[in-house]
């Protein structure tokens, strides 16, 4: 009967652990990226040999010694993806884990709220761990925007034109054409077109002036009918602004400029031009292909690397560390890839993965554990009463 009390105690202890796990799951109902755990029970046995009066000598008998909590498993089922306000809040739709760097140690998470730390690294805002990224060679590293907070200027090298320059118009003016020198300085040009049909049909004189009305360059373009002659469809402007290196800018009319008669109205305009001034970093965000993208005030952007996703053959090699983090227990290194590769999921920006705790399932398990605890307690009570009765019988003798 004493053994019955000990067996009942193993039930109380095991179901108490079950209650503790359910409490932890329910308490983390609203913890982003939390994964619920499930407790597994195991039975205990010990052996006896040749019990007198019960079995013949030499026979083996096994006696149950109660129950134990053998292990817990983490349920990696995906939680709901919820929108958030953070530009670098990341979640994963599908399989995979984000890689966070703590010095040389690697931790893993399903979701996180990231931003730039004081050193310019993309780090988890609360925990401070840095986001792992992949180089083009597939090497895991962290990334800092320091050194890329300014986008250098680029001098204008080409201006392309489009639409119609009326063959019967006498002149046409395109004003407010902005160009950039090698130092990022802005210059405003006016480009004037004068029809010289009185001397040669289809010939136009082109004059480039700066914002002071000073002539920078002269040239000409020539139409054969309504299309430009191949050797007269571009003009190279020698540009030597004060305080900046000299450069050349090509005025390119070869694309889609026509010379139809349209009275005195010409629609020819600047279609595209390159060059830009210096720009400051304005945004750091995740692109649709899973790369971190830097955007600058001058309209330029740069992609600096893919966010790394980790994949384990067996996710149960991971243990929960707290704060939605997991670490591996001496297993082989995970496979590190980009989003969408090898069956992995895709990254979702401005999103957080919610906890995967299922309240209905947890409350169902809670009832079962409560019943198990009550039954184990009743076993102890009955065994105790039987022992007391035994003592009373001995006292009567």
Q: What is the pLDDT of residues 168-184, one digit of tens each?
A: 999 999 999 999 999 99
Residue the block writes with tokens 């095991």:
14
pLDDT of residue 6: 86
242 Cβ contact list (under 8 Å, min separation 6):
none
pLDDT of residue 88: 95
Check whether 47 has a pLDDT greater than 70.
no
pLDDT of residue 391: 80
Check whether 260 has a pLDDT greater than 60.
yes
Check whether 53 has a pLDDT greater than 60.
no
pLDDT of residue 237: 96
pLDDT of residue 397: 58
pLDDT of residue 60: 60
Question: How does 262-291 read in b/e, with b if 16+ C-beta sit within 10 Å?
Answer: eeeebebebeebebbbbbebeebebeeebb
The Cα-based distances of 7 to 126, 192, 265 in angstroms read 45, 101, 101
Residue pair 69/92 in contact (Cβ under 8 Å)? The answer is no
Query: What is the percent of the chain with per-residue pLDDT over 70, rounded to a whole number?
Result: 94
pLDDT of residue 49: 54
- Other C-beta atoms lying within 10 Å of the C-beta of residue 309: 29
Classify 259 as helix, strand or coil.
coil
pLDDT of residue 389: 84
Closest CA to 232 of 274, 264, 200, 184: 200
Average pLDDT over residues 356-376: 93
Average pLDDT over residues 245-252: 96
280 vs 2, more confident? 280
CA angle 389, 393, 396 (to 5 degrees): 140
**Average pLDDT of the chain?**
90
Check whether 50 has a pLDDT greater than 80.
no
236 Cβ contact list (under 8 Å, min separation 6):
219, 248, 249, 250, 251
Please give the biggest Cα pair distance in the chain: 145
- Other C-beta atoms lying within 10 Å of the C-beta of residue 369: 20
Average pLDDT over residues 67-71: 81
Average pLDDT over residues 41-62: 61
- The full set of domains in the chain, from first to last, is 2-76+356-396 (no CATH), 82-144+284-293+302-353 (no CATH), 158-273 (2.60.98.20)
Query: What is the percent of the chain with per-residue pLDDT over 90, rounded to a whole number?
Result: 70
């Amino acid at each position: 009967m004493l053994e019955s009390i000990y067996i009942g105690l193993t039930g109380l202890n095991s179901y108490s652990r079950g209650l503790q796990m359910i409490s932890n799951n329910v308490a983390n109902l609203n913890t982003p990226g939390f994964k619920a755990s499930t407790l597994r029970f195991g039975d205990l046995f010990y052996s006896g040999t040749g019990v007198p009066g019960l079995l013949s000598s030499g026979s083996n008998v096994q006696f149950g010694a109660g129950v134990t909590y053998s292990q817990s498993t983490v349920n990696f089922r995906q939680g709901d993806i919820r929108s958030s306000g953070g530009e670098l809040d990341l979640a994963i739709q599908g399989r995979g884990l984000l890689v966070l760097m703590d010095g040389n140690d690697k931790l893993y998470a399903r979701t996180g709220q990231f931003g730039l730390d004081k050193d310019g690294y993309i780090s988890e805002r609360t925990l401070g761990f840095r986001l792992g990224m992949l180089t083009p060679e597939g090497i895991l590293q962290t990334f800092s925007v320091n050194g890329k907070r300014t986008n250098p200027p680029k001098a204008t090298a080409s201006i392309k034109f489009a639409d119609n320059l009326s063959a019967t118009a006498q002149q046409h003016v395109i004003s407010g054409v902005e160009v950039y020198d090698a130092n990022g300085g802005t210059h405003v040009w006016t480009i004037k077109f004068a029809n010289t049909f009185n001397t040669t049909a289809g010939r136009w004189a082109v004059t480039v002036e700066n914002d002071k009305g000073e002539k920078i360059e002269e040239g000409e373009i020539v139409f054969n009918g309504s299309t430009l002659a191949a050797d007269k469809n571009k003009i190279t402007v020698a540009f030597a602004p004060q305080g900046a290196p000299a450069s050349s800018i090509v005025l390119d009319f070869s694309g889609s400029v026509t010379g139809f008669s349209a009275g005195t109205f010409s629609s020819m305009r600047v279609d595209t031009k390159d060059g830009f001034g210096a720009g400051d970093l304005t945004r750091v965000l995740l692109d649709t292909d899973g790369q971190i993208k830097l955007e600058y005030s001058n309209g330029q952007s740069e992609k600096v690397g893919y966010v790394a996703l980790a994949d384990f053959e067996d996710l149960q090699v991971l243990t929960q560390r707290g704060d939605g983090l997991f670490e591996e227990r001496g297993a082989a290194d995970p496979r590190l890839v980009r989003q969408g590769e090898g069956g992995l999921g895709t990254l979702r920006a401005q999103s957080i993965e919610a906890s995967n705790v299922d309240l209905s399932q947890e409350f169902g398990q809670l009832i079962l554990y409560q019943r198990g605890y009550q039954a184990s307690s009743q076993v102890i009570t009955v065994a105790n009463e039987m022992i007391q009765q035994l003592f009373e019988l001995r006292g009567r003798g």
